[in-house]
Amino acid sequence: MDLVRSLLSRMVAMFQRRRLDASLDEELRVHIDLAIEEQMRRGVPEAEARRLALREFGGVTQVRETYREQRGLPLIEQIRRDIRYGIFQLWKSPGFALTAILTLALGVGANTTVFSMINGLLLRPLPVPESDRLAVVGMQFGAPNPNYSFPEPLFRAFERRHGAFSTTFAFNHTTFQVKSGASTENIQGQYVSGGFFDALRTVPMLGRTLNAQDDRKGGDSAGFAAVISETLWENRYHRDPAILGQRIVIDNVAFTIVGVMPRSFFGADPLQRPQFFVPLADEEVLAGERSLVKFGHRAWWLNVMGRLAPGATLEQASKEVGAAEGAVLREAVQDADWIKRTEQERHIRFFAEPGSTGFTYIRLNFRKPLMAVFAMCGGILLLACMNLASLLMARGTARQKELATRMALGATRRRLIQQLMIEGLLLGVTGTIAGLALAPAVSHLLVAVLLSGHQQAHLDTSLDWRVFAFASATAVLATLLFALVPAIKATSRNLMERMKDGQNATRTIDRSGILPRVLMGAEVGVALLLVVGAGLIATSLVRLYHDGMGFDPRGLENIEFSMENSGLKGDALMSFYREMGQRLSHAPGVTSVSYELMTPLIGYQWDEDYNDTRGAVHDTFMNSVAPAYFSTMRIPLLAGRDFTWDDTPSVGKKLILNQTAAGQLFPDGPALGRTIRHEERKKLEVYEVVGIVGDAKYADIHSVAPPTGYVPMPQNDFVQSASFVAVVRTNGSTGSLMGTARAITAQMAPQVPVPEVTSMEKIIDDAMGPERMMTLLAVFFAVCALVVTAIGLYGTLAYATARRTTEIGIRMALGAKRSQVVAMVFGQNLWVVMGGTVVGLAAALLVTRALASFLFSTSAHDPWVIAASICALGLAACAASLLPALRAARIEPMAAIRCE
């Protein structure tokens, strides 16, 4: 109680220092006056009375000091004085302060930026009540990477179970066509199961959420129900208070709006901002022929999450779903053969993992690259700290006189270290603030790159407490790293001795210069590591671009037609496409046109099992294409012929194989002209191989071109789809293509929505999103590393040279040539850089192996990259040494010696 009270009054006192000082002075003056008066009343003369009074009192200054110490918080007052002194010190050397702050801003800014992305993508919890009770359900399914897509029947089997989960729910993000007046508009929405809103527990702004009643075939008795977002309510309905009960026509089906969700709610995928939610059961009605629910266990498309039942733990839930896999499969899937194969060959296993941050696919792709970039950022920060440490050390040496004077005046070593640390902290805080100010702009830029392949996605990288906590922790840690050692070093040894030394002309090797040089060497090593890493990543990207997709992406455009609701089928559909192709080929800039069912590299795949001539089964990737496809894509036709429009169902099934597929399916000789058998829907079909083409990449840009078979567009009865993608080869001037495509569709099929045009180069860029981001960041950080290192090398060398002015003067007076002086100064950095390079090289050989998984046809020890990195570093070092060397060469011997 007493303690709290006095602490409080001490704190209050700190803010009223001036007033309290005046009050104390007056009190003491009164005291002494009263004492004098009393002495004089006894008859002592005034001068003697004053002397006696002061003697009685003791030391006035001392009392005042003790009183002040008692009054305030001495440590804080001292720190305040130190801060003021520190600011003054930094103000006196603006060049040093600016360098330090910039270096640090770069280090902290880079880290905060990347951290705020990691925060937005990986750490920030969903803004729903008790998000920590949510879990994501996934499975191991053949491949080494976990799979998070579920077929609808499998999810329904989960939904019916109750145990460790109180609710399980599924969702899928889709683009829907929403009628608005005469035109249709593409709007982002989500299919959600009945338990979705129950599990996410967010209260709607208006009306109600969707429930299990809505999520039944045919909807509720009142018809199909939909919940819309506040954004849609605002943009489309102008916040109409009578919105509930109104109709919204989605994919030609009328839905009744039953509720409006607040803007803060976006469901369970943190990167999506769906405009409305419709029940999962309505997918069959909305998607019609393409319905994924109808495809049953063959369509893998739903993300499944659950809310843990009260008292249940995640481990329990994971164990439970893990143990239920057999039962779940049997309950969900009727096809016994499929279950048997799945259980035997793919070793399916379900699991539950923490779901407080929701689920998004982008996370799976970007987690690793982001972490790699984060490590790189750590390297930059380390570099910045080393740089500052060596700068501060050099500065400490230059400030010896000042420090020695203060020590002579009675300052303890602790006080001096405290003072130097506070100066460091000042730099740290300023640098951090500068870095934080930069971070949002940079992270916006990065997010744009990161999400370039996902136009609808939305990543919130705003600064929150986690980012601030991270930045502060980084700043404190950085300060400790860069300020403590120099502070201890600067105050070590006998300062008085050193003060007497001054600029010592006789001591050529300054022992105190070794540590900064070791530090700079280490810095060079770290910088080399970063540069080599960046070089490898960049080389890999360039090779990925150039090493051939198997087709020529330059000038290639894809036009996607949504023909599902056109009602066209069979021959009518084919002649429609043929006519459309003809019109498109007359468009300006277009040189050839064809069609494909699967656009390469956007991630979709369609595969079928074929038996080779020896009976072994081969998984073959498939596509359905129109005539002139290979010439349009510039995939070489190696043997045989291309498809023609006459390859109709009536002339017998035709097939074109790529080289790899041909070799795999016909291991005993040339494939051309031979036939292959394939079972489709319990019916045996015989295919004649009419052509062999070159290998081209299929769904995944990172893997080699898979065995691929092509069937002619009119003969495709595998995939029920009326929507094909036009592939258009242009001579580069594609500006009008969008308009042409729009005009042609408006003329030929006014009922279908506006086609979407995407360039192949854009698809490739998107497919390489993580690599592009990594490369961009890696190169950026490598340049930063070079700059920071160059600044460091320059700074330390400039200090060291300045301190050797006299020595250099004497050397010159004794006959050293200016070129020799330049060489000598240059040599100093040379040794540092060479030492650092050796260390960095050794480290690089060890560490870059961790990068191997990111690299495409590039060795982690690529000699060219390493050589180029060393050259770049060498150049930076030379640039950094130039100015100090020239300055040394300009020293006038006589002037320098006279100074001594």
Partner 1 sequence: MGENKPDILQGTLDLMVLKTLEAMGPLHGYGIARRIEQVSGETIMLNQGTIYPALLRLEQRGWIKAEWGKSETNRRARFYTLTRTGKSRIAEETRNWERVAATMALFLASE
Site for partner 1 in 701-720 (CB under 8 A): none
Q: Which two tokens stand for residue 195?
A: 């338990």
The span from the CA of 272 to the CA of 342, in Å, is 32
* 455 DSSP assignment: T
Nearest one of 718, 577, 596, 712 to 648, comparing CA atoms: 712
User: Which lies closer to partner 1 via its Cβ, residue 31 or residue 762?
Assistant: 31
Identity of the residue numbered 735? G
Q: Which residues contact 557 (CB under 8 A, 6 or more apart)?
A: 727, 728, 730, 734, 737, 757, 758, 759, 760
First to last CA, the chain: 63
User: Which lies closer to partner 1 via its Cβ, residue 19 or residue 347?
Assistant: 19
Query: Does position 14 bind partner 1 by CB under 8 A?
Result: no
Query: Does position 49 bind partner 1 by CB under 8 A?
Result: no
User: Which lies closer to partner 1 via its Cβ, residue 70 or residue 252?
Assistant: 70
User: Which lies closer to partner 1 via its Cβ, residue 36 or residue 421?
Assistant: 36
Site for partner 1 in 71-110 (CB under 8 A): 71
Residue 676's beta-bridge partner residues?
687
User: Which lies closer to partner 1 via its Cβ, residue 5 or residue 238?
Assistant: 5
Smallest gap from residue 2 Cβ to partner 1 (A):
5
User: Which lies closer to partner 1 via its Cβ, residue 37 or residue 679?
Assistant: 37
Smallest gap from residue 47 Cβ to partner 1 (A):
19
For strands 675-680 and 683-693, give the pairing: antiparallel
Burial (CB count within 10 angstroms: exposed 0-12, middle 13-18, buried 19+), residue 626: buried
- Selected from 25, 48, 56, 130, the binder of partner 1 by CB under 8 A is 56
User: Which lies closer to partner 1 via its Cβ, residue 60 or residue 83?
Assistant: 60
Query: Does position 762 bind partner 1 by CB under 8 A?
Result: no
Stretch that binds partner 1, among 20-28, 365-373, 801-809, 836-844 (CB under 8 A): 20-28
The span from the CA of 170 to the CA of 269, in Å, is 11
Smallest gap from residue 414 Cβ to partner 1 (A):
24
Query: Does position 9 bind partner 1 by CB under 8 A?
Result: yes
Query: Does position 22 bind partner 1 by CB under 8 A?
Result: no
Stretch that binds partner 1, among 59-67, 695-703, 729-737, 788-796 (CB under 8 A): 59-67
Query: Does position 668 bind partner 1 by CB under 8 A?
Result: no
- Selected from 59, 354, 667, 735, the binder of partner 1 by CB under 8 A is 59
The span from the CA of 221 to the CA of 203, in Å, is 23
* 688 DSSP assignment: E
User: Which lies closer to partner 1 via its Cβ, residue 20 or residue 411?
Assistant: 20
The span from the CA of 675 to the CA of 613, in Å, is 9
Smallest gap from residue 73 Cβ to partner 1 (A):
12
- Selected from 15, 16, 19, 66, the binder of partner 1 by CB under 8 A is 66
Count the Cβ atoms, other than its own, within 10 Å of residue 49. 19
Query: Does position 60 bind partner 1 by CB under 8 A?
Result: yes
Stretch that binds partner 1, among 64-72, 275-283, 550-558, 855-863 (CB under 8 A): 64-72
Smallest gap from residue 32 Cβ to partner 1 (A):
8
- Selected from 19, 51, 57, 240, the binder of partner 1 by CB under 8 A is 57
Identity of the residue numbered 36? I
Question: Which x/- pattern, by CB under 8 A, does the window 23-42 give for partner 1?
Answer: xx-xxx-xx-xxx-xx----
Largest CA distance in the chain: 140
Stretch that binds partner 1, among 61-69, 528-536, 812-820, 886-894 (CB under 8 A): 61-69
CA distances from 588 to 335, 431, 467, 854 (A): 52, 55, 52, 41
Tell me the DSSP string of 69-85.
HHHS-HHHHHHHHHHHH
The span from the CA of 520 to the CA of 829, in Å, is 9
User: Which lies closer to partner 1 via its Cβ, residue 33 or residue 679?
Assistant: 33
Q: Which two tokens stand for residue 775?
A: 């490369």
User: Which lies closer to partner 1 via its Cβ, residue 33 or residue 130?
Assistant: 33
Residue 729's beta-bridge partner residues?
556, 592
User: Which lies closer to partner 1 via its Cβ, residue 66 or residue 575?
Assistant: 66
Q: Which two tokens stand for residue 793?
A: 């090398």
Smallest gap from residue 445 Cβ to partner 1 (A):
55
CA-based R_g, the chain, Å: 38
In our burial notation (b when 16+ CB lie closer than 10 A, e otherwise), range 292-308 reads bbebbbebebbbbbbbb
Return residues touching partner 1 (CB under 8 A): 2, 5-6, 9-10, 23-24, 26-28, 30-31, 33-35, 37-38, 56-60, 62-63, 66-67, 70-71
